[in-house]
Chains A and B, each alone.
Chain A
Amino acid sequence: MSPINKNAKQVLAPVASNKRVGIYHQIIVNIGDLAQKCKPGNFVAIQVGGDNSALVLRRAFAISRVSTSSATGGTMELIVAPHGQGSTWLCNRVEGDLIDIVVPLGTAFGVPTEPVPVLLVGGGYGSAPLFGLAEVLNARGSRVDMILGASTSSNIYAPMEGKRAVNTMRIYTEDGSAGQTGRVTDHLYEQIRDLNIAVVYSCGPMSMLSAITTITKALDVVHQCSVEESMACGIGICMTCVLPVEGEDGSISMLRSCIDGPVMDGSLVSWNQVGKTL
């Protein structure tokens, strides 16, 4: 047993269902008892392309929700956009297909000990893992508000059943095709202040996470964000997915978003040094 990813297992898991939801695919995978080990924010690394594929690297996907009570045992839900070769391959899996997965991986969203008001902010399909988180927070008695944004309405992921755990949901699109025209950060300062928010949870593009951090820092509110950096392995051995993060002594070091993330304290990420030489 290793001190790192101590609940992770590599298994061949059957796809239980694969449904199109707008431009995304909702893929449910039977993972049995491993579902009990998955927490909101954790991710799964999946082998793609099948035998003899030229795709040699695993793909990391956020787990949007898990169910421990389905008829076939535990399941996990993934929301996947068929953007590249790997995600397209995954979106073409059908019920009964076996996929090679390593799960659960990475850090999880921290849940407050008291039922404080929280705000969940998602960009694009980055909203997917926030719905599983919303259910957990709602069950703990927190008031959960949500803000979703995307370039255009079709990129918004907001399933009907996901809204049950959410008090209010605001939508922003850059082209104005749904909700308000603009970005999730446009009125974020006022929203955090007026709703007396104690914790902001976010998932989406790095530029969004960085912009949210500026606002949460000004208001001295906790910001837990799930970062996106391209990974080759997902299990901490390749050192490609690093981000500059401030340590306890104030020094900046390159931490792996697969091991020390994907959920990180936004206030400690040195956003202006991402992509720069330390």
Chain B
Amino acid sequence: MTAIDFSTTIGHAWFPAPTFTASGCASSGRELAQFFPLREMGGVVTKSVMSRMRPGRPTPRMAETPSGMLNSIGLQGPGIDAFLAQDISYLVEQKARVIVSIAGETVEEYSTLARKLRSVSGISAVEVNISCPNVENRGLVFACDPDASRRVIDGVRRTLGGELPIIAKLSPDVTDLVSIARGVVDAGADGLALINTVLGMVINVNTMRPHLGGKTGGLSGPAIRPIAVRAVYQVHAALPKIPILGMGGIANGKDAFEMILAGASGVSIGTASFGNPTAIMSIQSELKQLLIDRGFKSLKDAVGYAHREEGVTRE
């Protein structure tokens, strides 16, 4: 195999491969570790953790849809203290690179969570999830409000003081994604995670009521991939220097390559792992081969390549 620089960087965090789990799609990491060594992918993005234990939403929490699924988990988790005590050390022992995802109900909760991460060793970056759709009050989806988004990121940046790169996870369910992205970058985000799930609903025709316990859920899987590619393309066009973790329905190496061409510096895999526990490993090797086949010397050369001017071809 031809040598290729497959590494990527987000802020000052370096990863040997551009492949990550998507937040909320790898549980504690132990579950996937049975199927491949966690250190072999770019990094693990943890489940979004909150200050306190949270039971999450009632069942049913899942509905399969054409080429996708709705989930309505509602950020079930043990809370930051138990998470740091039980899960981080395991991931570090596995030599996995770790991006901790945090979620809060207030601007202050995000800052408190960030403060707890400052002293923890073995963390590469922090993902600030301001776009989980499965909360009771849509008004609390910070990423739908440019001002609230900025305030959350600003608070986290002040707390972290540049020690850890900040990745803001945004929602596609907004009218002007670019302005939200620009706002959080101005507030100090080093990178962006695009996209969170798309708000959806399934009505059960037998019960004639919404199928999910939480009524609405987040749509993921190949069904949303074109939305994700568009979001990454638009944001990369406006903010070409900001690294983007692209996600939304990536199921094979070609899908990942498409996201890189649109402007992503790395890709996250979520729903594909539900269908195939080793999806990340095959996506990683397929993407590497595609880059080599197309003559790229490094992943970085391919990032945003779909944006090149007319008439520009590879030498």
Contacts and interface: CB of A to CB of B under 8 A. Distances in A.
Interface in B33-92: 33-35, 47, 55-62, 64, 66-69, 71, 73, 76
Nearest to A45: B277
A20 to B, nearest CB: 26
A233 interface: yes
B55 A4 contact: no
A10 B78 CA distance: 29
A2 B275 contact: no
A1 B281 CA distance: 16
A229 B274 contact: no
Interface string B7-40: 0000000000000000011110011111100000
B234 interface: no
Contact of A57 (B31, B59, B64): B64
A242 interface: yes
Given A56-B271, A102-B277, A2 B31 contact: yes
Nearest to A49: B275
A254 B56 contact: yes
A236 interface: yes
A226 interface: no
A233 B273 CA distance: 8
Interface stretch (A127-135, A183-191, A270-278): A270-278
A57 B274 contact: yes
Overall SS of chain A's interface = loop
Nearest to A273: B58
Contacts of A243: 59
Contact of B69 (A4, A56, A229, A254): A56
Contact of A254 (B66, B76, B222, B276): B76
A156 interface: no
B298 interface: no
Q: How large is the interface on B (under 10, 10 to 19, 20 to 34, 35 or more residues)?
A: 35 or more
B295 interface: no
Contacts, number: 120
Interface string A44-87: 00010000001111100000000000000000000000000000
Contacts of B161: none
Contact of B34 (A1, A58, A241, A242): A1
B58 A4 contact: no
B226 interface: no
Interface in A144-172: none
A217 to B, nearest CB: 23
Nearest to A244: B55
B62 to A, nearest CB: 4
Contact of A2 (B25, B34, B64, B73): B34
Interface residues of A, number: 38
B24 to A, nearest CB: 7
Given A56-B68, A240-B62, A4 B31 contact: yes
B60 A230 contact: yes
Given A56-B222, A237-B32, A230 B25 contact: no
B213 interface: yes
Contacts of A222: none
B67 A242 contact: no
A49 to B, nearest CB: 10
- Would you list the 5 A-B pairs with minimal beta carbon distance, nearest first? A240-B62, A278-B55, A233-B274, A2-B33, A2-B34
Interface of B: 24-27, 30-35, 47, 55-62, 64, 66-69, 71, 73, 76, 213, 221-222, 251, 271-278
6 contacts: A8-B35, A56-B275, A232-B271, A233-B274, A235-B32, A235-B34
Interface of A: 1-6, 8, 10, 47, 54-58, 100, 102, 229-233, 235-243, 253-254, 259, 274-278
Given A241-B59, A276-B58, 13 more contacts: A1-B33, A1-B34, A2-B30, A8-B34, A56-B68, A56-B272, A57-B69, A231-B62, A233-B274, A239-B56, A239-B73, A242-B76, A275-B58
